[in-house]
Structure 1
Amino acid sequence: MVVGDARLKRHSGWSEVVYHSITGMLGAGVLGLPSVFSHLGWAGGIIMLVFSLWVSWYTYLLLARMHEVPDLDNKAGNGVRRLDRYDQLSCYVLGPRKGKLALLPFQLIVLIGVAITYTVVGGDSLRAFAHFITPNLAMGKWSFYIIFGAVQLMLSMLPTFNELSMVSLLGAVMSVAYCVIAIVMSARVHPAKGTVNYAPEAVERTPIERTMGIFNALTTVLFAYGGHNMALEIQATLPINEQHKSSVPRMERAVHMTFVVTALAYLLVSIFGFYAFGTSVADNVLLTFSHGPTSWVVAMTDMFVVVHVLAAYQVYINPVFIMCEASLARRTRGGSVNVIVQTLLRMSLVVGVTVVAVLIPFFGSLMGLFGAIGITPTTFTLPPLLWLMLKQPAKWSFDWCQNWFLVIITGLMGVLGTIGALYGIINAASTYHLFAN
C-alpha cells in the first residue's frame, strides 16, 4: 500500500521529470553568473561555482531520498507514505507547527521571489526584442512587465504539473538554447592582450562597495539553484506500481541528468562570458552584445529567454497555487475549491507578482536578495538539517560532519548575501523612477 495525495496524477516518466527539473533549475540566473567573476575573480568564481554545483546536486538527492518514508498508520504492513510537497517533508520531520515555521516563509519567498525576478527578466527581454524591431518604441519597461503578467494569467489556468509538461519541455529547450548562444557569442570574442581587465581589485570601488559586491556575488550564484523547492512536487508525478517499486531510482537518474546539463551551462557561460569582457561584463551577459552586427542574434535570444521564463515562472508558481488551494479546501465543508474561487485566487497571485515587479525592477540585486533569504535556506541549509534529524547518523561520522558543515557554512553565506543584496537594491532604488522608460 502506498499512501499519498489521491488527487495527484502520477503518470510522468523520468524524462518528463528531467525537463521539469531543467526548466526550474537552469533559469535566467545563469546569464548573471559571468558578472559574479567581476567581484570574485577567476579563482574565487570557479571555486564558488563548483562548490555550489556540488552542494546543490547533493541536497537535491537528499530531498529525493526523503520523498518516501514508512507509513506510520500502517505499521503492520509494508506501506510507504509519499511526501508529495516540501512542506509535508518538513512537517513530517519537525512536527506540524515547527515544520511550517521552518520552511514555508522561506519557500514562499523563493517561489514568489523567483516569479517576481522572472517577470523582470521576461519583461526586460521582451522590451529588448521590441526595441530591436521598432527602435523608436516609446513604451516604458513597466508596460512589458504587464504584458508578461497577462500571458502568465492565461498559463496559470492550467491546473497541474501534468498539464504543464509541454510548457516545461519548451522552456527547457529554450533555456539550453540561450545558454548555447551566450557561450558561442562569448567564445567568438577574442580580446586583445591587455584590453580586458580580469582583476576585481583593479576596479575603482570603495571598500564598502567591494565588500558588498562580494557578498552579493556569493548569493547571486546561489540564486541559480531554486529548483529544490519543486523537487518533491515533481517527484510526486512519478508512479509507484508493480513495475516500479519506488520513485527514488528514477528521480535520482533525472537529478544526475539535470545536473550534467546544468553544470555544463553554468560553467561554460560563466567562464566564456568573463573571458570575453572581464570586469566590465553586464549583469545579464547578453546585454553586452545588444549593439553591433550580431544584435539580431541577441534579439532572437531575448525571445528564447522570454519563452523560457514564461515556462519556468509556472513551474515555480504552481506549488504556491497548490498550497493556497489546499489551505482553502481544508476550510470548506466539501474539502474542495470551486473553479471560480480557484481562478480568482490564481489571478490575484499573478497580478500581485506583476505589481511588485513593476515597483522593484532590479534584476541583479533581486537575484542576490532572493538567493540569500529564500533559496539559500531551502536549497542548501534545510535539506541536510532535515536529513540529520530524520536519519540521525552517528555523531562525528562522515555523514554527520558533512551535513552539519553544509548547514553552518550555507547559513553564514545567506546572512552575508542578504546584507550585500539589500545594499545593492538601496543604491539602485535611489536612481529609479516609477513608470520610467
Structure 2
Amino acid sequence: MRRHAGWLEMVYHSITGMLGAGVLGLPAVFSHLGWAGGIIMLVFSLWVSWYTYLLLVWMHEVPDLDNKAGNGIRRLDRYDQLATYVLGPRKGKAVLLPFQLIVLLGVAITYTVVGGDSLRAFATFINPNLSMGRWSFYIIFGAVQLMLSLLPSFNELSMVSLLGAVMSVAYCIIAIVMSARVHPAKGTVNYAPEAVERTPVERAMGIFNAVTTVLFAYGGHNVALEIQATLPINAQHKSTVPRMEKGVHITFVVTALAYFLVAIVGFYAFGTGVADNVLLTFSHGPTSWVVAMADMFVVVHVAAAYQVYINPVFIMCEASLSRRTRFGTVNPIVQTLLRMSLVVGVTVVGLLIPFFGSLMGLFGAIAITPTTFLLPPLLWLLYKQPTKWGKEWMVNWFLVIITGIMGILGTIGALYGIIKASSTYRIFAA
C-alpha cells in the first residue's frame, strides 16, 4: 500500500465520509423526537461517535516485535484486520464482515437515492416541464459511478474526496441560510410531534426510525482505518496517531456545526412539515436557484462519498479473488467487470427501494450502529482489558448495551416505514 497522504488529506477524506447527505434528514428527526429529544439525541450521538472514532485510531497501531523495519509496530489498515487481530481470524471476520459490507453497500444505495433525487430536483428547476421519471436519474447517477469506479485505488481519490468535502460544507451552508430566511409566523408552524395525527404504532415506529436516522449520519468509522493507512510512518513521524487525532478533531468540529445548525434551523423553519430531505421542502420562488445549486452540490458530494465507501468493497472482493488465482493477482478485465457489477447492483437496489428517510434508519440500525457505536468499544474492551467495574470498563459496556438496544428498535421502525411506503410505490411510475 502506498502511504503518502498528509493529515490535511485525511481531514477531507474524513469529512467526505462523515459529513454526508444524512445531514439533510436531521430536521425530520425532530418531527418525531421534538426539540428536547432531538437535541439530546444529537449531543449523545456526537459524543459517542467522536469517542468511538478515536478508539479505532488508537487501535490502528499494535505491537509487533518481529517487525524490525517498522519499529516494532504492526499497522491494521482495515477494520476487518482489527477485528481479526482482537477476536481471531474466523471469529473476527464472522463478527465484522457482514456489518461492514452492509454499511459500505448500504451507504452507496442510500447515496444513489439521494443523488438521483437531487439530480432530478436540479433538472426540474432547469426544465419545470421535465417528463423523465425518477428512476431515470438513479440510472444516470449510477452511470457516473461506473466511470468513477475505474479509478485504481483509494490514493487516487484525493481530489474526488476534496471536491466532495467542499460540496458537503457548501450545501449545508445553503440549507442553513435558506432555512433561516423562512421566518415562520407565530402559530403557523407545528413543533409538537404529538399534535401530528398518527396511530400509536406509527408514533413508536417513527421514534425508533428517527433515533437510528441520527446514527446513520455517523458512518465514517467504516473507512477510518483505510484513511489512517494512507499516512506514512517515517523518521519525521514515528506514529500516525497524533496526525490522525488532529484530523479527527477538526472533522468532528466541522461535522457538529453542520449537523446541529441544519437540524435546528431546518426544524425551526418547517416544524413537523419538514421533508425527509430538507432541501426538498423549499418552495419555488426568486431564490429557488440557490436551492437548485445546493441540489447539484449534493449530487457532486454523494458521487464522491459513494466512492469513498464502495472502494473498500472493491478492495475486499479483489483481494478475495486474488487469493483464488494461481498468480495472486486479478486480471484487469475481471477487476473492471467486478466493479461494474457491484455498481449496477447498488443502482438496482436503489431503484427498488427509493425511500431516503427509511433507508437511513434501516442502514443506521442494522449496520452503522454496530460498526460505529457498538463494535469499537467492544473491541477496545477485549484488546485493552480495562479494570472490571472501573470507569473505562463501565463506559464502554454502557455504550455496547445501549447502542445494541437502539439498533434493534431502529431496525423495527425502519422496516415498518419501508413496508408502508412500498405498498404504494411503483418502480417506473414516478
Report the TM range for the smaller structure's normalisation. Answer: over 0.9
Q: For the residues of structure 2 that align with 1:295 and 1:23, how far apart are their CA atoms?
A: 26
Q: For the residues of structure 2 that align with 1:265 and 1:118, how far apart are their CA atoms?
A: 18
Aligned to 2:347: 354
Aligned to 2:240: 247
Aligned to 1:175: 168
- Pairwise CA distance, 1:293: 2.3
Aligned to 1:313: 306
Pick the aligned partner of 1:265 from 252, 258, 262: 258
- Pairwise CA distance, 1:26: 0.3
The answer to whether the aligner puts 1:153 opposite 2:146 as a matched pair is yes
Q: For the residues of structure 2 that align with 1:275 and 1:133, how far apart are their CA atoms?
A: 29
Aligned to 2:417: 424
Aligned to 1:395: 388
Q: Percent of aligned pairs with the same residue?
A: 86
Cα offsets for 1:294-339 (capped at 9, x unmatched)? 2111111110000000000000000000100111111112211121
Aligned to 1:222: 215
- Pairwise CA distance, 1:381: 0.1
Aligned to 1:14: 7
The answer to whether the aligner puts 1:285 opposite 2:285 as a matched pair is no
Q: For the residues of structure 2 that align with 1:234 and 1:290, how far apart are their CA atoms?
A: 39
**Ranges in structure 2 where 5+ consecutive residues have no aligned partner:** none
SS at match of 1:100: helix
Q: Is the 8 A contact 2:233 2:240 kept in 1?
A: yes
Cα offsets for 1:363-398 (capped at 9, x unmatched)? 110000000001000000000000000000000111
Aligned to 2:22: 29
Q: Is the 8 A contact 1:122 1:306 kept in 2?
A: yes
Q: Is the 8 A contact 2:164 2:304 kept in 1?
A: yes
Number of aligned positions between the proteins: 430
Pick the aligned partner of 2:296 from 300, 303, 324: 303
Q: Is the 8 A contact 1:63 1:383 kept in 2?
A: yes
SS at match of 2:62: strand
Cα offsets for 1:118-144 (capped at 9, x unmatched)? 000000111111111111111111111
SS at match of 1:81: strand
The answer to whether the aligner puts 1:112 opposite 2:100 as a matched pair is no
Pick the aligned partner of 1:51 from 41, 44, 55: 44
Q: For the residues of structure 1 that align with 2:313 and 2:357, how far apart are their CA atoms?
A: 24
Cα offsets for 1:59-79 (capped at 9, x unmatched)? 000000000001154499941
Equivalent AA in structure 2 for residue 145 of structure 1: Y
Q: Is the 8 A contact 2:322 2:330 kept in 1?
A: yes
Q: Is the 8 A contact 1:129 1:303 kept in 2?
A: yes
Pick the aligned partner of 2:61 from 64, 68, 89: 68
Q: Is the 8 A contact 1:183 1:269 kept in 2?
A: yes
SS at match of 1:138: coil
Equivalent AA in structure 2 for residue 80 of structure 1: I
Q: Is the 8 A contact 1:69 1:82 kept in 2?
A: yes
Equivalent AA in structure 1 for residue 21 of structure 2: A
TM-score normalised by L of structure 2 = 0.99
TM-score normalised by L of structure 1 = 0.97
Aligned to 2:189: 196
Q: Is the 8 A contact 1:290 1:298 kept in 2?
A: no
Q: Is the 8 A contact 1:20 1:168 kept in 2?
A: yes
Q: How does 1:138-149 map to 2 (within 5 A)?
A: 138-149=131-142
Equivalent AA in structure 2 for residue 301 of structure 1: A
The answer to whether the aligner puts 1:40 opposite 2:23 as a matched pair is no
SS at match of 2:233: coil
Equivalent AA in structure 1 for residue 426 of structure 2: H
Equivalent AA in structure 2 for residue 334 of structure 1: F
Q: For the residues of structure 1 that align with 2:347 and 2:70, how far apart are their CA atoms?
A: 49
SS at match of 2:276: coil
Equivalent AA in structure 1 for residue 273 of structure 2: S
Q: How does 1:375-414 map to 2 (within 5 A)?
A: 375-414=368-407
**Ranges in structure 1 where 5+ consecutive residues have no aligned partner:** 1-7
Equivalent AA in structure 2 for residue 281 of structure 1: V
Aligned to 2:323: 330
Q: For the residues of structure 2 that align with 1:320 and 1:290, how far apart are their CA atoms?
A: 39
Q: For the residues of structure 1 that align with 2:398 and 2:70, how far apart are their CA atoms?
A: 37
Q: For the residues of structure 2 that align with 1:202 and 1:142, how far apart are their CA atoms?
A: 35
Q: Is the 8 A contact 1:107 1:378 kept in 2?
A: yes
Q: For the residues of structure 2 that align with 1:77 and 1:133, how far apart are their CA atoms?
A: 56
- Pairwise CA distance, 1:292: 2.3
Cα offsets for 1:337-375 (capped at 9, x unmatched)? 121111111001001001111111111100000000010
